[in-house]
Structure 1
Amino acid sequence: MSLGYIIKEGMAGLNRARLAAFTSIFSLFIAVLLLGVLTRVSYNAYEVGQSLKRSIDVEVFLMDLDERTTRELSNKIDRSNLVQTVNYISKDSAATIFKQEFGAGGGSLAKLDFLPASFRVEIKPETEITKVDSLVQAIKNYRGVEEVKFNQQLLQMIEDRFRTFATAGVGLGLLILLAAVVLVFNTIRLTIYAKRGLIKAMKLVGATNTFIRRPFVVEGIMQGIIAGLLSIGVMYISFQYVLPHYVPQFGILEWPFGRWYYLCGAMLLLSMFMGFLGSQWAARRFIKKTSISE
């Protein structure tokens, strides 16, 4: 069977059930657009979460230690696979920081030499809160450590909020995908029903189900391409021009991985796949049921 025939018949199928095809394309368009927006917002939420996690450090306050013991303790902490960097803050540096943060009034207090030396330990952003807590407990038991400060509640809140957002996003995305595939399925089913006489005739002259099925699959893919291109156009124009003009805060949202074509390409491929999946499902099911004797 020639490729030209398959494409021609697939395009013709869009005209045979126009209302159903329009409904299917519109539903795919809405589904892919919502998923694209959800992906972009989720990506930026993830980046913000990671940035906040990077700003949360573990502060390890030290007893009076000699230089060798301090270096050994630093190396011991740095060997953990959860640690990104270990920065040493001497007593003099701590006093300088204290004066910078508290102004002139903090200068007299800083002279009292009550500020201990410390390590500022940066944790890798992807580290789970439970592992960080285990690391903190281990550091507390190291010889020479006086106190360890770690804002566990803030990090726990960030993780919980992002986990809830991600779970809700995945659930909504799956629901949207399912609804779009079902609508493509119904459109192809109506097209098959409209062509049932031709399908019976083709079976009488020996056409296989695979031969008959291909144009319907092409029709579903064409619906996906149209819906995907429309959703990409609307999202690009909205996020690049319309929304930043009226709500400037939208202008700070970044494209995933820094380029527009990654997300847009994924949206088009997803739309085509959903069109293929719905049409393949309908064609396999109903072409087999179209009997020659009916």
Structure 2
Amino acid sequence: MTKQNSKSVKKKKLGNYPHAMVVFSISLALFVIGLFGLLLIHAGKLSDLVKESIEMQVYLDRNLTEVQLVRLQKTLAAKEYVAYKQDTAQVRYISKEEGAKAFIGETGEDFTAFLGDNPLRDAYALKIAANHSGSAELKVIKNELEGIDGVYEVQYVASLIESINENIQKISLVLIGFAAILVFVVIILINNTVKLALYSQRFLIRSMQLVGATSFFIQRPFLNRATWQGIMSGIIASGLLYLLMQYAYHEIEELRLLRNDEQTYMLMLALVVIGCIIGFLSSYRAVRKYLRMSLDELY
């Protein structure tokens, strides 16, 4: 008999609240945001790889000694704008003999046969870090490199880099625009879900108000519940994203090149925070609304 009474009291206290429906709806909305966030992360990584695949050719003075070549390579590798791969500076030495072989292989013409000499110069090929690949910054880098002792000339395909930067900028603006619209729609969706869930609690709120409960006392259980629902929904959405990523990486090996674990974990944390904040604010607004309504407006 006592157990039945306690269950009855608990039911009256909590009301008929669709907890599972709210968590499911918020989790689904956050999962959609997470999917688009993953798209942005992988697109950003792809953009960096494209930018870092472009090389800047540093042609050297003739007759440099081995000591001078080594010193020059160390100088170039120490520059902050040089790209790194697995803690290795992307500075590659190309002798004039290698350059001649590559030219002959591409054109099929042996220019050394009728010139009688190899007019090419030894060179270093530098890959520039993605965050230093802007057109204006590359010009500054070119002037700086040409001022180093032993460097004859620096060349890069400026038109190609400008075209890549312009296209990447346009694509980024489109993706950011879609992301902003998506976040706005999801916020409205979560807000309406919480409001609909609290609609079934409007008479319970009024009953508590009629017996003299303060606004803070009435709001606290609903805000606590909404906060935990947001956290739980964020965790569920993050878990689904993680499983989806692992499946995608298993099916498409090349996709691993675009992964960025640090940004992905930050995205998952952001989903939890977003779910918590939106759930809290939506619940706060809804409860405040029902507290201000008259009894006739509740029907």
TM-score normalised by length of structure 1:
0.69
Match for 1:257 among 245, 253, 261?
Answer: 261
Distance 2:160 2:252 in 1: 24
| Matching of residues 273-284 of structure 1 within 5 Å | 273-283=277-287
| Percent identity over paired residues | 25
Distance across 2 between alignment mates of 1:286 and 1:270: 22
Other-structure match for 2:51: 53
> 2:131 aligns to what SS in structure 1?
coil
1:114 and 1:263 map into 2 onto residues whose CA distance is: 53
**Helix, strand or coil for the counterpart of 2:212?**
coil
Listed as ranges, the gaps of 5+ residues in structure 2 are 1-8, 84-88
Gap change, CA 1:76 and 1:6, over 3 Å in 2: farther
- Quote the residue 1:182 is aligned against: 188
Shift of 1:58: 0.9
Q: What SS does the corresponding residue of 1:119 show, helix, strand or coil? A: strand
Q: Secondary structure at the match of 2:59?
A: strand
Task: State the Cα distance separating 1:59 from its structure 2 match.
Answer: 0.6
* Alignment pair present for 1:210 and 2:236: no
AA of the residue aligned to 1:62: L
Measure the CA separation in 1 of the matches of 2:229 and 2:209.
Answer: 26
Q: CA deviation at 1:11?
A: 7.9
The amino acid of 1:64's aligned partner reads: R
For normalisation by structure 2, the TM-score amounts to 0.69
In 2, Cα distance between the equivalents of 1:173 and 1:51? 22
Equivalent in 281, 285, 289 of residue 286 of structure 1: 289
Look up the SS of the partner of 1:216 in the other structure. Answer: helix
1:8, 1:118 → 2: CA distance?
81
> 1 CA distance for matches of 2:60 and 2:215?
77
Distance (Å, rounded) in 1 between the aligned partners of 2:41 and 2:254: 15
- Paired position in structure 2 for 1:224: 230
Matched residue type, 1:252: L
Distance in 1 (alpha carbons) for counterparts of 2:24 and 2:18: 13
Q: Which residue of 1 aligns with 2:96?
A: 91
Shift of 1:257: 0.9
CA distance in 2, matches of 1:239, 1:7: 40
Q: Distance in 2 between matches of 1:238 and 1:66?
A: 54
Supply the distance in 1 between the matched residues of 2:52 and 2:241 (Cα, whole angstroms): 31
Structure 1 pair 36–197 and aligned structure 2 pair: CA distance change class (3 A): closer
Amino acid at match of 2:32: L
| CA-atom RMSD in angstroms | 4.4
Kindly provide the amino acid, as one letter, of the partner of residue 255 in structure 2: I
Q: Structure 2 matches for 1:3-82, cutoff 5 A? A: 12-14=16-18, 22=21, 28-64=26-62, 66-67=64-65, 80-82=79-81
Q: 1:158 to 1:271 in 2, by over 3 A?
A: farther
Instruction: Note the C-alpha offset of 1:52.
Output: 2.3
1:227-257 CA deviation, whole Å, 9 max, x = no partner? 546645654555544x789xx5587256531
138-147 vs 41-50, greater mean Cα deviation: 138-147
Q: What is the alpha-carbon distance in structure 1 between the residues aligned to residue 222 and residue 52 of structure 2? A: 51
Taking a change above 3 Å as real, the CA distance of residues 39 and 115 of structure 1, as seen in their structure-2 partners, is same
Do the aligned partners of residues 261 and 211 (structure 1) sit closer, same or farther apart at CA in structure 2, a change above 3 Å counting? same
